[in-house]
Amino acid sequence: MRSHPGFTKSFGILILAAIASVRPIALNAQAPAQSIAAAPSSATAILSRSPQSGLQTIYVKDPSGQLTLAAECECPFQPSISLSGSRIVFRVAGPGRTSAAYYKDAPFTGDAVRIDAAADSTDDGALSSTPALSGNGQFVVFSSTGNLDAAIDDTASTADLFIRDLSSGATERLTLGAQLTGNPSISSNGRYVAFATASQLAVEDVNNVGDVYLIDRSKPEGGLRLLTAPGLNAGATDASISVGGSAVAFTSAADNLVADDVNGVADVFVV
């Protein structure tokens, strides 16, 4: 077992000095596992295919097991649902079609609403994906190659992270020039956003592999915080935040996060 100088050993858990404690939740089990510490939802979004039309469908299943057709089109992907089950977000993509993010509200009979339109409400051909809805249904975080806030130094070739307030319609950029790895995740009230990236967003990030970051939107300049170790010896991906934002899970094949990680496969960790 190799450990980085930034770690100290305490009570059998390796603690990343000045950052956070890390503990495994799936040691000696094949990863990935993309959602932990999530509050039970009153409803579930289910991706399926209609045997009649052949189209992809998204159903909302309530606690009684009742299914409601929420969306049906050629290629809906990556559905995310509010805790109440009254709102879903999803990505639509397909041959000859721009990958875009939409939301739809219960009773799901109206048209879906585009989330990722540019600042001037035009479709600039951007590719958007990985929408994740906050538990309260107000905020959606997603990645997009579009320059949605008209930033001068935006690069169209790189998908950046944005958050949209579905109540006000305001869109906020969270990253600039960051190469995301895996889906982002957002706390129930929209305050915290966790994501993995192969880009160096903090000066102490010198490991040249994917790391997990946390943004506290209540703090000036976004409150960006590196959660994984500067000495991580394999990349991290698939960050998943708890409802209250107090814990973040991620997948990594690194063997220097905790003691006795000798299984040689990726594991799931909580920080």
The answer to whether the beta carbons of residues 71 and 104 sit under 8 Å apart is yes
Residue-wise pLDDT tens digits, 171-208:
888 887 777 888 899 999 999 999 998 888 888 888 88
User: What are the phi and psi torsion angles at 261 (to 5°)?
Assistant: -90, 90
Cβ-defined contacts of 3-10 (< 8 Å, 24+)? 3/256, 3/259, 4/229, 4/230, 4/231, 4/232, 4/256, 5/231, 6/229, 6/230, 6/231, 7/229, 7/231, 7/256, 9/259
Q: Where are the beta strands (DSSP E) in 106-149?
A: 113-114, 128-133, 139-144
Residue-wise pLDDT tens digits, 17-48:
223 445 544 444 444 434 444 445 567 877 77
pLDDT, mean of residues 81-95: 84
The answer to whether the beta carbons of residues 72 and 55 sit under 8 Å apart is yes
Cα gap 262→271, rounded to integer Å: 20
Answer whether 0.85 is exceeded by the pTM. no
Cα gap 82→43, rounded to integer Å: 8
Residue-wise pLDDT tens digits, 55-85:
778 888 888 888 888 888 766 678 888 988 8
Tokens describing residue 263 = 């299984």
For 48-63, b where at least 16 C-beta lie within 10 A, e where not — what string? eeeeeeeebbbbbbee
Tokens describing residue 145 = 């190659």
Cα gap 176→246, rounded to integer Å: 25
Q: What is the mean pLDDT of the chain?
A: 76
Q: How confident is the model at residue 121 (pLDDT cuts 50, 70, 90)?
A: low
Q: Is the C-alpha dihedral spanning 173, 177, 178, 184 positive or negative? A: positive
Dihedral in degrees, nearest 10, Cα atoms 116, 122, 127, 129: 10
